[in-house]
Amino acid sequence: MALEKKIRAMTESNDHDHPLFAASALDYDLPLAPQIARLLRRAIVTLNIEPGERLSEQEVANAFGLNRHAIREAFLLLRDSGLIRVMPQRGTMVLKISPEGLENASFVREALECAAARAAAVLRDPTALARLEANLAVQRQLAKQKNPEAFFECDDSFHHLIAEAAGRSIAWDIVDDYKPQLDRLRYLSIDIKIKDRLTADSAFENSLHDHQAIVAAIKKGDADEAELQMRNHLGRIMAALPRLASSYPDMFASDPHSKPGASAQQGQGRRRIGRANQTVRSI
């Protein structure tokens, strides 16, 4: 019942920035499983549902007021994302953060997003640049407010806009498929609820500074600088891994090579690797 109460509290929250606030506005004319999977993924990424926590189909179904069939389908989608392990007759568990999964996601993200930043600088599309500047203005406000969940969403929007500025939205779609594990590490680095305020302030400021440098390089049409700034920015997350793993050992898998769900994650990678290679070549 603890999980059901937690999800109910999140879905009934009046806080519009809460990761599950949108659950009160599910579109029942569309398939429910992908919507539930998206909401649960966000709750897992933002650590409202923590690594190692057990998930119950019935409790989640009760919390959302849905049947177990929709929840079961949502769990399968989360499994394919490498976030949970579904164990028949034994239950379902949120996987701990996998160092190997982080390395894979970081590799894919750096390859695609650095190429996108470079292409965006070549194109220098005025409309795309205006959208990036508007996004930066929102980031500045959220950094002042120290709102990790809203800043996290705005951060994602920024990177999506970079792919659009490159004329390669598919690059972001591929990155988004690979990055759930990386998202949890990103969130750990800015979440002021579980980190000291000085470190959290630095995380907001570093991210905003990096984003501003990337946009400045794109505006100048300096492709080399845009790529370099993006590479430096993305490298911050993996550089923080040793410190975060040491500070929060219970959140990380101890043996990345024997982690549950590895085969599903590898299968996902094989299905998308051709699409990723094609995108890199075309950017």
Q: What is the CATH number of the domain that holds 188?
A: 1.20.120.530
pLDDT at 181: 86
Shared domain for 118 and 156, answered yes or no, is yes
Sequence-ordered list of residues with C-beta below 8 angstroms from that of 138, at least 6 positions apart, any chain: 154
Dist. CA 149–CA 188, nearest whole Å: 11
Q: pLDDT tens digits, residue range 35-75?
A: 999 999 989 998 889 999 999 999 999 988 899 999 999 99
Shared domain for 158 and 37, answered yes or no, is no
Q: How many domains does the chain have?
A: 2
Cα radius of gyration rounded to whole Å, the chain: 19
Dist. CA 165–CA 162, nearest whole Å: 5
pLDDT at 149: 81
Q: pLDDT tens digits, residue range 102-116?
A: 999 999 999 999 999
Q: pLDDT tens digits, residue range 185-240?
A: 988 887 644 455 545 567 788 999 999 999 999 999 999 999 999 999 999 999 98
Shared domain for 138 and 248, answered yes or no, is yes
Shared domain for 107 and 208, answered yes or no, is yes
Shared domain for 24 and 84, answered yes or no, is yes
Shared domain for 75 and 88, answered yes or no, is yes
Residue 75 structure tokens: 């769990």
Query: Quick check: helix, strand or coil at residue 252?
Result: strand
- Which of 94, 116, 150 is where one domain is finished? 94
Shared domain for 178 and 58, answered yes or no, is no
Shared domain for 90 and 128, answered yes or no, is no
- Which of 94, 121, 139 is where one domain is finished? 94
pTM beyond cutoff 0.85: no
CATH number, residue 24: 1.10.10.10
Instruction: Please state whether 260 falls in left (phi above 0), alpha (psi between -120 and 50) or beta.
Output: beta
Shared domain for 211 and 137, answered yes or no, is yes
| DSSP H or E run through 94 | strand 91-94
Mean pLDDT of all residues belonging to the chain: 84
Shared domain for 40 and 165, answered yes or no, is no
| Count of all residues that appear for the chain in the document | 283
- Which of 94, 124, 144 is where one domain is finished? 94
Shared domain for 238 and 123, answered yes or no, is yes
Dist. CA 218–CA 254, nearest whole Å: 40
Instruction: Please state the separation of Cα 264 from the chain's center in Å.
Output: 18
Shared domain for 127 and 245, answered yes or no, is yes
Question: Which structural domain, as residue segments, surrounds residue 208?
Answer: 99-282
